[in-house]
Amino acid sequence: MAKKSKSKSPKLIGNVGDWSEIYVLFRVLETGELQVADESLAPIPNSYYRVLEALRADSETQSDYIREDTNILIKVHYNNEGKEAEYSSLCPISIFAEMANWLLNLIKIQTKSPFKLPQLTPFLLSINIKKLKDIGHKRDITLKIEDCIRSMAQILGFSIKSYLGKDSSLFNAGKGTNFIYEVTFPEGVDINCDEFNSRTYNAKKQKGGKIGYRIREIYNLGGKIDFSSVQSDCLYNNLKMIDGDLPEILAYLILLKTMQGIGDLAKGTALLTERNPLHYNIGTHPHIYEFKIKKFLQDVAQGMTPEKAWNGNYDSTGGQIVVKDNGSIVCYHIYELNSFREYLFRNTRFDRPSTSEDENNPGNFRKGKNEKSFHYGILYKEGEKYFIKINLQIRYKKLSKRNSTKRSTRKANVRNAPKISGPTS
């Protein structure tokens, strides 16, 4: 058994995505395989990677989970001086199989987030898991895998996308993810922002919601909308590092999606290609916008975030593991880069986070402890210039009927934990 730690109480609470990371750990240690998927999430026959080992870290220890015949050898290394350097224990693979099945059923029945699973705590502590998240990097799991074709073992990090809960976010919204547009009206036209925002507030059922309606009204008044800047300098430079034209491309794309009410990234990019605002030679390079958007999605999926300077080095160097809604697991390895990019491109959509605009005082934002501070979507004036902000957020779409597996209506038996023992020293 793992030795008791004198550290603080374990923080074993999280959302569906956090618990899905533990589920993936259990499942890959059970099966010893990562099945490779095509761009439609369908497993490719006879294409997989052998899982040899999983590695996790917390503030005090580094844990290695090594597959050995019918057991998992758990090696725990202490990071701090003055403690025992290392200890080992064995846990049957059959236990990880039981716990994976049980955890899957528990995740499926959750209605609140975040949530605890106290039934699982004793087993997690016995295998030295005191936090759901692996710390120190953006990757969600670190695995030692063997390429069955090349017979080469390597340690790689993977991000994890779970379809067990609600649509998860790929690119998170924040105040810094606002794209700022300058609005120019014809000479002699003076717009009262308070009156404009109040008049256009109750248009939530319009195409693109109230912001889409406001954009169209600006054009109806003879206005012109031009991209000015990204609110976060860090995000702007991250985008420039991926591609020099990317800030402008995304600015055109989210303006187009807001005005037209287009949520699907692939459809929006197709329309952007038709309009070709950057005047590329579409005749010779018809997929130039699509390629740049795919590259952006890949970099986001593998480590780029809005408020941390991006150096171009992928933290999730292996690719992405996907948990489908029936619990089956597939992966996209960096070797399958084209399939991975195509999957991201075809399975993501724009989202519109709350503006926190005050319904009793349109054009102004609600104040409160739980209010988001994105502060976008209104027409405002600075000096003699008008501006409007649109926020960028990207989520994964729901699985298509083709790739979604109907869940069983049979009530899962999740009241009690499986009657199994923990690891032995």
- What confidence category does residue 409 fall into, taking pLDDT thresholds of 50, 70 and 90? very low
pTM: 0.81
How far is the C-alpha of 132 from the C-alpha of 18, rounded, in Å?
6
Q: Containing H/E element for 123?
A: helix 121-126
Contact 117, 19 (CB under 8 A): yes
Q: Is the pLDDT of residue 208 over 90?
A: no
Give the model confidence (pLDDT) of 321-371 as tens digits: 999 999 999 998 877 788 889 999 999 999 988 888 888 888 888 887 666
Asked if pLDDT for residue 412 goes beyond 50, the answer is: no
Angle 233-242/288-301 helices, nearest 10 degrees? 120
First CA to last CA across the chain, in angstroms? 5
Q: From the centroid of its chain, how far is CA 236? A: 20
Q: Chain-centre distance of CA 410, in angstroms?
A: 30
State the pLDDT at residue 79: 72
Of 76-85, 130-139, 403-412, 414-423, the range with the highest mean pLDDT is: 130-139
Q: What are the residue boundaries of the structural domains of the chain, listed by start?
A: 13-168, 170-312+341-396
250/174 Cα distance (integer angstroms): 16
Provide the pLDDT for residue 7.
47
The mean pLDDT of 300-306, rounded to a whole number, is: 88
CA 170 to chain CA centroid, nearest Å: 3
The 10s digit of each residue's pLDDT in 69-106 is: 899 999 998 876 555 567 889 999 999 999 999 999 99
* Least trusted range by pLDDT, from 197-206, 228-237, 269-278, 410-419: 410-419
pLDDT in tens, 3-55: 444 445 567 899 999 999 999 999 999 999 999 998 888 999 988 899 999 99
* pLDDT at res. 315: 62
pLDDT at 411 over 70: no
3-state secondary structure 45-69: EEEEEEEEEEEEECCCEEEEEEEEC
How far lies 113's CA from each of 14, 153, 166, 409, 413, in Å? 7, 37, 11, 22, 21
| CA distances to 197, 361, 364 from 358, in Å | 11, 5, 6
Q: What rounded mean pLDDT belongs to the chain?
A: 87
Q: Using a pLDDT cut of 90, give the percent of the chain over it.
A: 60
Q: Which pLDDT belongs to residue 405? A: 46
